[in-house]
Structure 1
Amino acid sequence: MATPTMEDVAERAGVSRALVSLVMRSSPKVSAGRREAVLRAAEELGYSPHAAARSLASRNSRILGVLVSDLHNPFFAEIIDGIDVATHAEGFELVINTGGRSPSRERAAVTNLLSFRPAGILLLGPAVPASVIADAAAKLPVVLVARGSRLASVDTVQDHGKVGSALAVDRLVELGHSRIAHFDGGKAAQSAARRTGYRTAMRRHGLEPDVFPSEYTEVAGEKAAAELLARGDPLPTAVLAANDVNAIGAISTFGRAGLRVPEDISVVGYDNTSLAAFRHIGLTTVHQPRAEMGRLATEALLQRVRGERATPVRHLLRPALVERTTTGATS
């Protein structure tokens, strides 16, 4: 059977093709009776308009594009929860793509999103060069989440990474720790701010920073922990990890080596994702309000889409430390 068309729906419902188009675009100009007849006919025929096709046929797209740096990191999934709620409340739909933390793949993903002719795009923790962001912002509204920008055409939503790392170091020092290592996030977004916050706080306490190059992944956390152990004594008594999944990887390696957390070594993550709160993990971590970040990013994007604002918005959210069972006082 051929794929049903808008004309088929119009014939079944006994209305014009133009009226079917209005119904499919959720226009308020259609009476309840006619809307019900069109939707019933569409259901009977199995007709489902493609969101992208609707956008290409309309000057006013109802699609928002989202680039996710890493699908394996629950931090981004929880931001998308906030984006999803805010988006659908305003009658928009999402098209999501991922770049796998690779600048080249992310560049291609942005190009792919632009092909859908979205009203605007949200880039979550992007690793692409600033030039790619600038090029996209010249075409449509762009909001960055978990990454800063100086472009006046781009809005940003992020936490204060320097403050977050400092909160973790300060608390560990209160608990008696003086040898505190940091597994950083490499070249990823926010890594530099967290690393700077860690180093500044350590020196403020008269302590020597100890940074291990790492990444925002569980495997990288396992590797950094193995490198720390291979270095030998004296081992740090605490680790501030790049993020929660990095911390979980580190804890796994420490456990295999016979170290107890937190009795032998304390571990702090960053993001406060849902993983951190699992009872068998109980990860002490730096909290970022992920759903709120998604909501704020969507609101900023739609303000640009509607022409309500031309000046940039810079949401810089203050993090907080959430203490659970992976940190304790030194013996």
Structure 2
Amino acid sequence: MEDAGAERRRAEKKRPRLEDVAARVGVSTASVSLVLRGVAGPSERTRQRVLKAAADLGYQVDRTASLLASRRTRMLGVMVDVHSPFHADLVEHLHSAAEEVGYDLVLSTQTRTRDERTAIETLLAFRSEALILLGPTAPVDTLAALDGKAPVIVVGRRIEEGELDVVRTADDDGVGQIIDRLVALGHREITYVDGGKGVIATDRRRGYRTAMRRHGLDAHIKVLRGDNTEAAGERAARHLLEADQLPTAVVAFNDQSAIGVLAALARAGVSVPGEVSVAGYDDDRLSRLSCFDLTTVSQGAEEQARYAVAAAVERLDQGRTESREVVLAPHLVERRTIAGPR
């Protein structure tokens, strides 16, 4: 029985090579290479003949070999949390933005058993030319040291100190927009389900407190412990259900947590928004499902992705060395989970 190696070698032998195209046209392999790479030099007649011969032979450019020869990979490494629907939206838009400028993506995931450091090491091992890190939690000095190995673009997180490129939205303002709208609807008893540790959670928590104080609702400020998961939202809602009286509105750190709140309230027979209004943050794909139709805040995933890729290209191809922060304005997306208080 023929082994796999022999079969592979036979397939490679049959695959058209650059030399085959050159022989068909009667020109040098260097001329063929120039034509296929779109480099000026060969005449228009030669270019047309090479392209026709390549098409007739079924020749395909070995992109990997070309990149290795140029010592460029044109790969942007992206660290993504596999459990985040919002990160999934970002990655989709990052792919489109990268392809438009001739780059591709290498993805490395964070999971419950795979930490941020491991994910980043994988991106570097695959020769990523720049790193686009979605919501990193590493200390600023760690990220700054990493920037010495490859340009780092931090997406979604505020960086107070450190020379790093950042693309984010104003998280405190986004939560403030939710509070402003709820207050305008007549709410006063507005509880916030926190997102845990980290800069993003801190900014959103501050946005809640600041907006409540702005409306003179200091006495009504209530923050429940949570994180970025549906389970955290469910736990927070159960805590509220055990109290003597429910708040009229609940704002959660993100859409996943808000969905957990919705699930727990539904099981308890509490109507939304009839008895309690609920809002999240991120405007991820789950929030848009008709079964949730969740009021939330959009971070502009497509716009963030476009700016992140542009920052990487400026560092790699245009030689920009100074750091830059892009802060985008979030906007409230009102759906059916909020209404005036009962």
TM-score (norm 1): 0.87
SS at match of 1:190: helix
Alpha-carbon separation, structure 1, partners of 2:313 and 2:226: 36
Whether the 8 Å contact between 1:145 and 1:157 is mirrored in structure 2 is: yes
Alpha-carbon separation, structure 2, partners of 1:6 and 1:27: 26
Match of 2:8 among 2, 18, 43: 2
Distance 1:297 1:261, change over 3 A: same
Whether the 8 Å contact between 1:148 and 1:156 is mirrored in structure 2 is: yes
Alpha-carbon separation, structure 1, partners of 2:259 and 2:29: 56
Alignment of 1:133 onto 2:149: no
Match of 1:175 among 181, 185, 188: 185
Alpha-carbon separation, structure 2, partners of 1:255 and 1:297: 39
Alpha-carbon separation, structure 2, partners of 1:288 and 1:75: 9
Whether the 8 Å contact between 1:188 and 1:215 is mirrored in structure 2 is: no
CA offset at residue 296 of structure 1? Answer: 0.7
Alpha-carbon separation, structure 2, partners of 1:173 and 1:61: 52
Deviations along 1:73-113, one digit per CA (max 9) or x if unpaired, are 221122222211221111111111111277x6111110110
Task: Select between 296-305 and 133-142 the one with higher mean Cα deviation.
Answer: 133-142
Alignment of 1:97 onto 2:105: no
Alignment of 1:63 onto 2:75: yes
> What is the number of equivalent residue pairs in this alignment?
323
Match in the other structure for 1:86: 97
Match of 2:169 among 159, 166, 169: 159
SS at match of 2:281: strand
Q: Which runs of 5+ in 2 are unaligned?
A: 1-6
User: What is the percentage of aligned positions where both structures have the same residue?
Assistant: 38
Whether the 8 Å contact between 1:237 and 1:330 is mirrored in structure 2 is: yes
Task: Select between 33-42 and 300-309 the one with higher mean Cα deviation.
Answer: 33-42
What does 1:257-268 align with in structure 2 at a 5 Å threshold?
A: 257-268=268-279
Alpha-carbon separation, structure 1, partners of 2:70 and 2:141: 29
Q: Which amino acid aligns with 1:295?
A: R
Alpha-carbon separation, structure 2, partners of 1:125 and 1:28: 40
The structure having more radius of gyration, on CA atoms, is: 2
Alpha-carbon separation, structure 2, partners of 1:310 and 1:289: 26
Whether the 8 Å contact between 2:255 and 2:280 is mirrored in structure 1 is: yes
CA offset at residue 17 of structure 1? Answer: 6.5
Match in the other structure for 2:300: 289
Alpha-carbon separation, structure 2, partners of 1:40 and 1:217: 54
Calculate the aligned-residue CA RMSD, in Å. 2.6
Alpha-carbon separation, structure 2, partners of 1:283 and 1:328: 12
Deviations along 1:163-221, one digit per CA (max 9) or x if unpaired, are 11111112112222211111111124511100011011122222332111212122222
CA offset at residue 50 of structure 1? Answer: 6.6
Alpha-carbon separation, structure 1, partners of 2:14 and 2:194: 54
Q: Which amino acid aligns with 1:224?
A: A
Whether the 8 Å contact between 1:67 and 1:122 is mirrored in structure 2 is: yes
Distance 1:263 1:10, change over 3 A: same
Whether the 8 Å contact between 1:142 and 1:153 is mirrored in structure 2 is: no
Alpha-carbon separation, structure 2, partners of 1:35 and 1:74: 43
Task: Select between 181-190 and 29-38 the one with higher mean Cα deviation.
Answer: 29-38
